[in-house]
Amino acid sequence: LWLRCVPDLVNFSGRTEIFTLIDSQAQYPVVNTNYGKIRGLRTPLPNEILGPVEQYLGVPYASPPTGERRFQPPEPPSSWTGVRNATQFAAVCPQHLDERSLLHDMLPIWFTANLDTLMTYVQDQNEDCLYLNIYVPTEDGNNQDDGSDNDGDDDGDIHDQNSKKPVMVYIHGGSYMEGTGNMIDGSILASYGNVIVITINYRLGILGFLSTGDQAAKGNYGLLDQIQALRWIEENVGAFGGDPKRVTIFGSGAGASCVSLLTLSHYSEGNKVSLMVGQGPPGLRNEHTQFTSKVHGSYPKRMVRLPEFS
């Protein structure tokens, strides 16, 4: 029976169909997460020593924080049927960039100096913004340095294609009011270091950090978003070839401050999560309502309607 099937497999049209299917699967890889299947995009890099990277963009890690979920801790995403397309960025969290606004004076110089570039990434805004982007290396980096520190210890080989890869999660900065993980392309870092790189979006400004100082609005929803993203990563990164026990969190600006603050979270208890702080000490404020009012005044009224604070 097997021999009788061979002619059908080796005829020209049959080979074309088989090769087309294989090429399609290689170009658009599919991964099965705990919530459903997602289709990514295999992207070559403009460097002969760097292998291609699989990109999974706009992957939901929480339910949309809209309606009754606004100003509430994030909830896990809903499952879906079929294959979800993850080849384009999702919308970014609402934010207001204007050189004439109060925010311009509150943001770091490196940030305001690159507003034109940033603006191209924040045109598509929506409160349904809790998504992450995953960059997965596809080659073992045989042409790269083996990373040994020659100290005689067994460090393990991160370029071993058969082993689970380390994971690096980047938290973007922007004074808790601006920015997006979409503008950070993790492809080169993923390919060069043979690590899985993940960038995330989290709620910003009053939607992410409103606090009235009582039970009405406890605040820090943006930080809770980050914790939910880390939970999602721990549960699902294994499907991408990542090691959920080797996760490193790093960031810049407010993102680095968030990394520091996450050390105080119960999430870090019992989990092998490394924290690598970039630029930015922990941002702690006591005058919650006054600061909220200050930020609220710089947002368009149409974006979020809130009562005035005295």
Give the SS3 label for residue 145.
coil
Longest dimension (CA), the chain: 84
Domains of the chain, with CATH numbers?
Answer: 2-296 (3.40.50.1820)
pLDDT at position 140: 54
Among 102, 260, 250, which residue's Cα sits nearest to residue 166?
250
Tokens representing 249 are: 């969190």
pLDDT at position 273: 61
Global pTM exceeds 0.85? no
pLDDT at position 268: 62
Contact criterion met (CB below 8 Å) for 244 and 167: yes
Give the SS3 label for residue 117.
helix
Give the SS3 label for residue 84.
strand
Q: Which residue shows structure tokens 């993203």?
A: 229
pLDDT at position 286: 57
pLDDT at position 154: 47
pLDDT at position 210: 87
Q: Which residues pair with 276 in a beta bridge?
A: 250
pLDDT at position 199: 98
Where do the DSSP E strands lie in 143-288? Answer: 165-171, 196-200, 242-251, 273-277
10 Å CB burial of residue 283 (0-12, 13-18, 19+) is middle
pLDDT at position 174: 86
Please list the pLDDT of the chain residue by residue as tens digits (310 residues): 333 333 343 344 455 444 444 555 678 999 999 999 999 999 999 888 999 999 999 999 999 999 999 999 999 999 999 999 999 999 999 987 665 454 555 555 656 666 667 677 788 899 999 999 999 999 754 444 444 444 444 444 545 556 899 999 999 998 888 889 999 999 999 999 999 999 999 999 999 998 877 777 788 999 999 999 999 999 999 999 999 999 999 998 889 889 988 888 776 665 556 666 555 555 555 565 665 565 555 454 545 554 444 3
pLDDT at position 215: 75
